[in-house]
Amino acid sequence: MALPDLKFASPLIDEETIAGAAEVLRSGHIASGPWVQKFEAELSRFCDGRPVRALTSATAAVEVALQLCGIGPGDEVITSAQSFFTVLNMIVKVGAKPVFVDCELVTRNIDLGQVEAAITPRTKAIVPTHYPGALADLDALYALAERRRLRVIEDAALVLGSRWKGRNVGAIGDLVTFSFHPNKNITSIEGGALVVNSDAEAKEVEALRFHGIRHLADRTRDVAFPGGKFNLPDVNARIGVAQLARLPEFLAKRRALADRYFARFASDPACVLPPRPESADGGQSWNMFCVLLPLERMTMSRRDFREALETRGIATGVSYEALNLCTLGRRHGGRDGQCPNAERIARETVTLPLHAAMTLADVDRVCAAASEVIAAARG
């Protein structure tokens, strides 16, 4: 099968940014340096002055955030079963127990009622994953966390540029992680960031991302905790700085594409669409557009549907499998029927192309193809 010409994700990196990356390479200073500091400063400004530290990935940011909270063996961390594998992997990696709760079907956000019911004396943190289209209720989330004395690590990998009551995600709250993977709202090729609460926490992150090394007064070094090697190279940060400057442009394009999806997407039987924003931009950043296929009323599987679109040159994805039902999740208490909404999403979800390199005509093409394939498979 030929590769689809309409890609699932396609970052926009202009010639000026490419030239800037080349300048960093020629400078000889290609590990963490002045561009990382600039990138962190720009991200901090974006988050209303909160300290931000760049890392090699959002995965590293989640791991470091858990370590920053002192979470380890014997502790429990509550998270939604509807998320990427990163959150589960890192909870298990630090030695803690993942506790799965369900999500809301349409918004896909963590069910805070189930979170409260799942809290035990061993619970140390809540890790919600924000979805494009609607953020988790941050007021309710933090009221619960404060009442129960829990840390919050927001997985904001998908929503850089989304806003809560007029403020950027990351500008409020506890710990917040971002992703700069090529399929996210901006990219540094690979990269991530962690928003923290104080300079003291930022210093702790600096040690955790670089072997756990602390510098002593006699100019020697010491390690008291087994940190990782997660420092972002300057060449990546140079790209990140340029991309962050273009974020408003990218967000406007993504919102226009999402609006077009809502205006043109129609199928019989009907798919379940993401929540439609109430205002022109809705405060949402629209990293992806996910639908739930009406498989019970279709004579084809999700795989058949995806392959049918691929034969028409359209790439798709799956966002996401249910964490409680993957092999690792089952090993840590996950079971069938535990999280009905997350499990339904896992069975029926398809992620359609949505990225800043697309045109409105591309969206029309996807909508027409999806409608045609679903209609032909009507049971």
Name the pairing type of β-strands 97-101 and 123-127: unpaired
Element at 124 (helix H, strand E): strand 123-127
Cα–Cα distance measured from residue 354 to residue 316, given in angstroms and rounded to the nearest whole number? 10
In the DSSP assignment, the letter for residue 368 is: H
Count of CB atoms situated within 10 Å of the CB of 17: 18
Enumerate residues 6+ apart whose C-beta is below 8 A from 93: 63
Q: What's the token pair of residue 329?
A: 């999740």
**Per residue, what are the HEC states of 137-192?**
CHHHHHHHHHHHCCEEEEECCCCCCCEECCEECCCCCCEEEEECCCCCCCCCCCCE
Q: Which of 237, 188, 231, 230 is nearest to 93 (CA)?
A: 230
Name residue 206's amino acid. Answer: E
Given the residues 93, 184, 203, 229, the one annotated as active site: 184
* 374 DSSP assignment: H
253 noted as active-site residue: no
Q: Which two tokens stand for residue 195?
A: 């928003």
CB-count burial class (<10 Å; 0-12, 13-18, 19+) for 74: exposed
Whether the CB-CB separation of 91 and 110 falls below 8 Å is answered with: no
Active site residues: 184
